[in-house]
Amino acid sequence: MTAATNDTVLLNIIRQQSETIAALQKSLDQMNEESKLLREQIDYLTKKLFGRKSEKTDVISGQIVLEEVVFGQFNEAEEHMDPGEVEILITKKPSRKGYSREKAMAGIPEEDRFYRLAEEECVCEFDGDHLHSIGKKYMRTEIEYQPATMKLVHLYQESRECRTCRSQGRDYIITIKGPAPVLPHSMASASSVAWTMYQKYVNHVPLYRQEKDWKNLGLELKRSTLSNWIIKTSESWLAPMVDRLREKLLEQNYLHADETTLQVLKEAGRTAQSKSYMWVFATGETSRAPIRIFRYNAGRNGKVAADFLGDYKGYLHTDGYSGYGKVEGISRCACWSRVRRYFVDALPKDSKNPESTLPKIGIAYCNKLFDIESDLKALSPEDRKTKRLELELPVLEAFWSWVEDTLPKVLSKSKIGKALQYAL
């Protein structure tokens, strides 16, 4: 074998080994990325399971001075700074005024109860004279609970006739109409149905327990009867009211919409583990007539929002769910609270981890916008718009620039990658 042939063989071996090394390195990089994403997911789920649920916090491991970011003083080298040097200021809400017993008890019926000596006790033990009252001394105030009571109310209609007409051989009789029943051919009254609904939907007392409560009061009412009260009353009395509320809601030029998951037991054709959705549509904070309407649907299809909103042409404030794109003719507004939540979720479990820097910057931008909004609350809509353009526009421009510059530098499937993508 010649020297030239040996060189060719060696070069082929080197090339093959280089390709093998490159392939192994690529595979190692992929495994490292997957490992990093899995660790991040474990930390996130651990935080969700055992951490506190609220996003509010006094300090998230340091402070970022947002003005430095906005005006470009936060350079690339500083992205690798020690997270211990980074702090985010979060403005605390002013504490509520102290508890006042007088305010808490305002409006509650009051009764003065006097404890007096029995007549035979009103005698002086020294000389037998009668004891005279010299005043009263306050002891304490107690809260006295009176259990609920129930009674049967028998309704009668009075009828009256004209006796003169009767004597002349003609009838003239008038019978008072009386109140219409809540439900035809039912013993349900407005108060009993209202109490049943209040117990179930406000106090979360299931009907089988309410059935026992009614029995303890002396009346056997089956839960099927209570359920029928709720269903029939809702259809006859509440549905028209909801329809009217929807009409008034759609007269607003600015609305909120959102949807959340829930599970429905014993729903026909579906398992108890199936995801269902409760949709909510609400007026804005400044509306003179606040309205919130909830609508249940088995799915999350954007057609639910489109059907509810109909020909609505105003502004709709939602999260980033693409289903709202099926609502035609609206001007869609994104939610900054959701953007902030994505950055909060991207925070690693260890606040001193260098990877916490980028999420903290995103949170700082959001907090800055929230602080400005808080200061503008008392202004008129026109003045607020002017101030937003003056104070918030520079923050927004800096934020978008930071997002676009940072996004290519992170893993697209990582929490911070998803936060940046969501923000865009």
| pLDDT tens string 362-385 | 999 999 999 998 998 888 888 989
Mean pLDDT across the chain: 84
Token code pair at residue 161:
């006739």
Burial 170-197 (b: 16+ CB within 10 A, else e): eeeeeeeeeeeebbeeeebbeebbebbb
In this structure, what is the dihedral angle of CA atoms 308, 311, 312, 313, given to the nearest 10 degrees? Answer: 150
Measured between its terminal Cα atoms, the distance across the chain in Å is: 63
Dihedral of alpha carbons 265, 267, 273, 278, sign: negative
259-283 mean pLDDT: 88
Bridging pattern class, strands 254-262 and 276-283: antiparallel
- The predicted-structure confidence for 208-227, as pLDDT tens digits, reads as follows 999 999 999 899 999 999 99
Token code pair at residue 106:
């305002």
Element (H, E) at 201: helix 190-201
347 Cβ neighbours under 8 A, 6+ residues apart: 60, 356, 359, 360, 363
Better-scored residue on pLDDT, 349 or 159: 159
**Residue keyed to tokens 């959701």:** 338
Please, are residues 280 and 258 in contact by the beta-carbon 8 Å criterion? yes
pLDDT at position 79? 41
Q: Which of 308, 365, 323 is nearest to 69 (CA)?
A: 365
Report whether pLDDT(327) > 70.
yes
DSSP reduced 3-state for 391? helix
Q: How far is CA 233 from CA 196, 281, 340, in A?
A: 11, 23, 42
Token code pair at residue 319:
């999260």
Q: CA 217 to CA 151: how far, in whole Å?
A: 10
The H-assigned helical ranges of 310-380 are 336-345, 357-375
Please, are residues 316 and 324 in contact by the beta-carbon 8 Å criterion? yes
Token code pair at residue 162:
């004209």
Please, are residues 418 and 408 in contact by the beta-carbon 8 Å criterion? no
Bridging pattern class, strands 159-161 and 173-175: antiparallel
199-210 mean pLDDT: 96
Percent of the chain with pLDDT over 70: 85
Residue 367 has phi, psi (to 5 degrees) of: -60, -35
Please, are residues 282 and 291 in contact by the beta-carbon 8 Å criterion? yes
Token code pair at residue 274:
């199936």
- The predicted-structure confidence for 29-79, as pLDDT tens digits, reads as follows 777 777 777 777 777 777 666 666 566 654 444 445 555 454 444 444 334
- Say how many residues make up the chain: 424
pLDDT at position 164? 92
Q: CA 343 to CA 338: how far, in whole Å?
A: 9
pLDDT at position 315? 93
134-144 mean pLDDT: 89
pLDDT-based confidence at residue 234 (cuts at 50, 70, 90): very high
Bridging pattern class, strands 331-333 and 315-317: parallel
75 Cβ neighbours under 8 A, 6+ residues apart: none
Burial 123-148 (b: 16+ CB within 10 A, else e): eeeeeeeeeeeeeeeeeeeeeeeeee
Q: Which of 333, 335, 334, 392 is nearest to 365 (CA)?
A: 392
Report whether pLDDT(90) > 60.
no
Q: CA 420 to CA 424: how far, in whole Å?
A: 6
